[in-house]
């Protein structure tokens, strides 16, 4: 690009004055002047400057230092009334010109910022990943000469990290004229002038990244009234000047430079999912699809089509992508609409692959591991940031970065202690509070969580409750709307199906590599290939599905119909009623928490159809999936009812009952054998009373843990508490 000719300062200043007059900014400048210093910024639409004079607009982009910080500010001062001017001049940096809404052609992705952008005005965007505390930066230092005591002013360089001292005790400022070698200076902070400053780090949006590229980050310097307006997790657009400063090794300046952006203005992304807005043709496709009779099948089969089976899991994940309706109670409490799902499974099952695929399909999807390498981990923390001179900064973790999206977290059971304690708040209130090293902040984490965890003992054991199997506290497990166990048990029919599916994936892939896909060699059945292709190719293109989901989440907020509400109520009341009808103490089949999960799933089903009403059929879909989940892991087969404590309690109802039974057996045995009984004797006795041996062992261990029985020298004792 040909470089524009540089104009002199007075010409540029006159241009601004003309612009302010002809585009109605004079009254606004005087209004800001009246309210100064509470108000310190004049917002100028770049489009206005462009209308006024396109060449001048280009000039501002090319020479922002002169055009904005120098001549522009001078023009603002010229426009102020005398008493306003005095007040503004006395408090640097005065009134800032905040150019907003820069044109699209000045947009540069963080990863594409290059040396030719240095000192030019550009705009870029990203998620705020870190933000330091606000600290003063020296604008103009006042120094005292150690020889003569004169006070000397020295303006400071914004780009330098070090203080610039006067080179001599300036005579024109009333000093003695001695140079730096002959005298030295003390800085007087109380007389010096400062501006508030904050450094943030923005990270590119995942949306624009393809093929496993890692997101890049950039430091942004915010000053004066731009500080403390954005927080980690916010998606922002920044207009600013790209700066380059030499790297240092000790006192030495290197010929390599570090870059950062000095912000001129900062804007929050106006709407969510902006980049996923469908085109007119795509919208037509989306509407068409929403009325298709096999919509649910199509969406479900577009999730990880390479992986065979797991029909219910995929359908649940499809609902999760759409989510329920977030709402506020009349009292102001927030109820989440996001659906949390946990996949528990033997190693080698398809968990990780499903998670990766969902992160790629779901808008604002992020894939991360529970044992993340970053300090912020899944939630957020205060860290010492070397790039910001070792100051404490607030760093956002996965759940904050996935705000308004889906966080797919592998090895969730391996999360750090810090994450563990922040997770309850993150999953229910969908906020994360950090109070550490003087940083107090509450960050938003309005995302759905698709987690995966391995059983503690390697393989899933149907005898044990969920709490015994997964290294996660019951209070966290109870926050998942659905938990699915993915086991890898041999089964002839299933294995045959899996094998043919995997073969289909490979054969379709092989054919796609042929130069001429039509010329299929002999020995390969073309018709069979077509069937296979049908099975393994996603029915909906990934980019269209993303836009479909984004569209539904942005525009569709369904309401439960009377009929749908009645079905949910009946389900809840009758399940609890059936359990209450049992003899003796009864298990709790579901609680209000599960009821809310059913509501969310029903809303999600309606959203998936782009319907503004939750119909009976939506509730039926939700209940089918919900019953599938409970029947797999919360079924008390003896009583024929659900027992939610099999998932979220330390002991299931059955274990509690059997535990009492076993303990009284031991009490009876110990009455005759004062020195206690051996494990073998207990198990023998238990077997005679109809206990399954494995179950008796598990219960015995729990009784021992709870202090109900105790052991010494291999002999057990128990005392009746009556």
Would you say 175 or 455 has its CB closer to Zn ion? 175
* Residues linked to residue 137 through DSSP beta bridges, in sequence order: 195
The smaller minimum CB distance to Zn ion, of residues 142 and 709, is found at 142
Nearest distance from C-beta of residue 178 to Zn ion, angstroms: 5
Q: Which is nearer to Zn ion, 85 or 147 (CB)?
A: 147
Calpha distance 446→274 (Å, rounded):
17
**For 269-401, where are the E strands, in sequence order?**
327-328, 334-335, 341-345, 365-369, 380-385, 391-396
Nearer to Zn ion, 166 or 377 (CB): 166
Phi then psi for 348, rounded to 5 degrees?
A: 95, -15
Looking at the Cβ atoms of 185 and 460, the one nearer to Zn ion is: 185
Of 148 and 187, which CB lies nearer to Zn ion in the complex structure? 148
3-state SS track over 219-250: EEEEEHHHCCCCCCCCEEEEEEEEEEEEEEEC
The residue (of 170 and 557) whose beta carbon lies closer to Zn ion is 170
Phi, then psi, of 575 in degrees rounded to 5:
-60, -45
Cα 591 from chain centre: 28
Residue 73 makes CB contacts below 8 A (sequence gap 6+) with 94, 95, 96, 97
Q: How far is the CB of 142 from Zn ion (least distance, A)?
A: 14
Reply yes or no: is the peptide bond before residue 37 cis, omega within 30 of 0.
yes
CB atoms within 10 A of CB 674: 7
Residue for token digits 């077509």? 530
CA 672 to mean position of chain CA atoms: 62
Question: Number of residues in contact with Zn ion, rule: CB under 5 A?
Answer: 7
CB of 143 to Zn ion, least distance (A): 10
Separation CA 365–CA 546 (nearest Å): 10
Reduce the DSSP state of residue 347 to 3 states and report it. Answer: coil
Judge whether 538 and 305 are in contact, CB under 8 Å.
Answer: yes
Residue 215: CB minimum distance to Zn ion, A = 53
**For residue 211, what are the CA distances in angstroms to 113, 215, 306, 580?**
20, 11, 18, 54
Nearer to Zn ion, 37 or 177 (CB): 177
Q: Is 651 in the site for Zn ion (CB under 5 A)?
A: no
Q: How far is the CB of 151 from Zn ion (least distance, A)?
A: 10
Going by their DSSP bridges, the two strands 217-223 and 252-268 should be labelled as parallel
CB of 171 to Zn ion, least distance (A): 9
Confirm or reject binding of residue 142 to Zn ion (CB under 5 A).
no
Nearest to 438 by CA among 382, 400, 396: 382
**Of the residues 145, 226, 575, 718, which one makes contact with Zn ion according to CB under 5 A:** 145
Instruction: Give me the least distance between CB of 397 and Zn ion, in Å please.
Output: 53
Contacts for 112 with CB less than 8 Å, ≥ 6 apart: none
**Cβ nearer to Zn ion, comparing 46 with 185:** 185
Rounded to the nearest angstrom, the gap between the alpha carbon of residue 649 and the centroid of all alpha carbons in its chain is: 29
Min. distance of Cβ 183 from Zn ion in angstroms?
5
CA distance 100 to 238: 9
- Burial class of residue 511, CB neighbours in 10 A (0-12, 13-18, 19+): middle
Structure tokens at 440: 């107090």
- Range in contact with Zn ion (rule: CB under 5 A) among 138-146, 259-267, 309-317, 565-573: 138-146
**Nearer to Zn ion among residue 111 and residue 147 (C-beta):** 147
Relative to beta strand 635-636, strand 613-614 is unpaired
Among 45, 158, 176, 635, binds Zn ion (CB under 5 A): 176
Among 120, 135, 144, 147, binds Zn ion (CB under 5 A): 147
- CA-closest candidate to residue 478, choices 424, 426, 430, 432: 424
Q: What mask, x for binding Zn ion by CB under 5 A, covers residues 26 to 65?
A: ----------------------------------------
Phi, psi of 65 (to 5 degrees): -60, -50
Burial of 63 (0-12, 13-18, 19+ CB in 10 A): buried
Distance, in Å, from the CA atom of 535 to the CA atom of 246, rounded to the nearest integer, reads 57
Nearer to Zn ion, 148 or 163 (CB): 148
- Residue among 147 and 578 whose Cβ is closer to Zn ion: 147
- Compute the distance between CA of residue 650 and CA of residue 663 in angstroms, rounded to an integer: 17
Smallest distance from the beta carbon of 18 to Zn ion, in angstroms? 45
Instruction: Confirm if 92 and 193 have CB atoms less than 8 A apart.
Output: yes
Minimum separation from the CB atom of position 184 to Zn ion (A): 10
Among 148, 187, 511, 683, interactor with Zn ion by CB under 5 A: 148
Minimum CB–partner distance for residue 253 and Zn ion (Å): 29
| Cβ at position 173, least distance to Zn ion in Å | 10
**Residue 175 interacting with Zn ion (CB under 5 A):** yes
Which residues neighbour 584 within 8 Å (Cβ) at sequence distance 6 or greater? 657
Where does this chain touch Zn ion (CB under 5 A) — which range of 175-183, 192-200, 326-334, 338-346? Answer: 175-183
Identity of the residue, 145 or 344, whose beta carbon is nearer to Zn ion in the bound complex: 145
Shortest distance (Å) from residue 163 CB to Zn ion:
18
Region of 70-78, 144-152, 610-618, 664-672 interacting with Zn ion (CB under 5 A): 144-152
- What are the structure tokens assigned to 229, written together? 């307006």
Cβ closer to Zn ion: 148 or 439?
A: 148
Which residue, 143 or 480, has its beta carbon nearer to Zn ion? 143
Of 151-170, binders to Zn ion (CB under 5 A) are 169
Helix/strand/coil (H/E/C) assignment for every residue in 642-697: ECCHHHHCCCCHHHHHHHHHHHHHHHHHHHHCCCCECHHHHHHHHHHCCCCHHHHH
- State the nearest-atom distance from the C-beta of 140 to Zn ion, in Å: 18
Instruction: Quote the least distance from Cβ 150 to Zn ion, whole Å.
Output: 5
Least distance from C-beta 192 to Zn ion, angstroms? 18
Q: Which of 176/683 has CB closer to Zn ion?
A: 176
Q: How far apart are the first and last CA of the chain?
A: 92
Binding residues for Zn ion, rule: CB under 5 A, are 145, 147-148, 150, 169, 175-176
């Amino acid at each position: 690009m040909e470089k524009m000719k540089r104009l002199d300062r007075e010409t540029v200043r006159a241009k601004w004055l003309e612009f302010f007059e002809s585009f109605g900014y004079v009254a606004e400048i005087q209004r800001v002047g009246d309210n100064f210093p509470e108000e310190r910024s004049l917002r100028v639409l770049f489009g206005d400057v462009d209308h006024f004079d396109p060449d001048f607009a280009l000039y501002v982009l090319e020479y922002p230092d002169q055009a904005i910080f120098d001549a522009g500010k001078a023009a603002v001062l010229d426009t102020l009334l005398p008493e306003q001017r005095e007040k503004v001049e006395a408090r640097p940096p005065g009134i800032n010109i905040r150019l907003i809404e820069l044109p699209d052609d000045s947009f540069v992705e963080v990863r594409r910022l290059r040396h030719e952008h240095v000192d030019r005005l550009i705009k870029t965007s990203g998620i705020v990943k870190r933000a330091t505390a606000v600290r003063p930066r020296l604008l103009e230092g006042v120094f005292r000469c150690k020889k003569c005591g004169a006070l000397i002013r020295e303006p400071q360089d914004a780009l330098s990290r070090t203080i610039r001292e006067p080179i001599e005790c300036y005579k024109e400022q009333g000093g003695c004229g001695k140079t730096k070698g002959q005298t030295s200076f003390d800085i007087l902070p109380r007389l010096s002038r400062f501006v508030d400053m904050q450094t943030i780090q923005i990270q590119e949006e995942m949306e624009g990244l393809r093929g496993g590229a890692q997101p890049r980050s950039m430091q942004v310097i915010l000053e004066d009234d731009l500080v403390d307006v954005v927080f980690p997790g916010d998606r922002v657009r920044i207009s600013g000047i790209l700066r380059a400063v030499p790297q240092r090794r000790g006192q030495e300046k290197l010929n390599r430079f570090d870059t950062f952006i000095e912000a001129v203005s900062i804007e929050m992304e106006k709407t969510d999912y902006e980049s996923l807005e469908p085109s007119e043709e795509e919208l037509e496709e989306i509407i068409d699809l929403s009325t298709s009779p096999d919509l649910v099948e199509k969406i479900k089969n577009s999730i990880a089509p390479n992986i065979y089976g797991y029909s219910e899991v995929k359908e649940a994940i499809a609902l999760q992508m759409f989510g329920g309706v977030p709402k506020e109670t009349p009292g102001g409490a927030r109820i989440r609409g996001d659906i949390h799902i946990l996949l528990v499974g033997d190693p080698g099952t398809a968990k990780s692959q499903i998670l990766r695929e969902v992160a790629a399909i779901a808008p604002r999807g992020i894939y991360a591991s529970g044992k993340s390498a970053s300090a912020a981990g899944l939630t957020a923390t205060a860290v010492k940031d070397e790039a910001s001179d070792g100051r404490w900064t607030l760093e956002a973790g996965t759940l904050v970065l996935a705000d308004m999206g889906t966080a797919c977290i592998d090895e969730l059971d391996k999360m750090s202690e810090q994450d563990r304690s922040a997770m309850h708040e993150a999953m229910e209130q969908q906020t994360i509070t950090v109070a550490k090293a003087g940083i107090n902040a509450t960050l938003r984490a309005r995302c759905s969580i698709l987690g995966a965890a391995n059983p503690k003992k390697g393989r899933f054991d149907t005898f044990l409750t969920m709490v015994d199997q997964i290294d996660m506290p019951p209070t966290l497990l109870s926050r998942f709307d659905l938990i699915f166990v993915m086991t890898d048990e041999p089964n002839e029919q299933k294995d045959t199906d899996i094998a043919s599916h995997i073969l289909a994936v490979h054969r379709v892939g092989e054919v796609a590599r042929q130069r001429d896909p039509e010329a299929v060699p002999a020995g390969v059945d073309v018709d069979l290939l077509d069937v296979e292709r049908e099975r393994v190719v996603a029915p909906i293109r990934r980019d269209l599905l993303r836009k479909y989901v984004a569209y539904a989440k942005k525009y569709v907020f369904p309401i439960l119909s009377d009929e749908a509400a009645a079905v949910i109520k009946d389900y809840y009341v009758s399940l609890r009623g059936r359990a209450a009808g049992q003899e003796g103490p009864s298990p709790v089949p579901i609680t209000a928490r599960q009821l809310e999960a059913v509501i969310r799933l029903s809303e999600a089903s309606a959203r998936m159809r782009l319907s503004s009403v939750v119909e009976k059929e939506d509730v039926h879909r939700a209940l089918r999936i919900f019953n599938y989940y409970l029947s797999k892991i919360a079924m008390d087969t003896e009583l024929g009812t659900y027992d939610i404590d099999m998932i979220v309690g330390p002991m299931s109802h059955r274990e509690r009952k059997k535990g009492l039974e076993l303990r009284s057996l031991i009490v009876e045995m110990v009455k005759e054998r004062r020195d206690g009984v051996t494990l073998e004797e207990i198990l023998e006795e238990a077997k005679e009373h109809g206990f399954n041996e494995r179950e008796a062992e598990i219960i015995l261990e729990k009784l021992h843990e709870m202090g109900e029985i105790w052991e010494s020298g291999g002999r057990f004792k128990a005392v009746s508490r009556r």
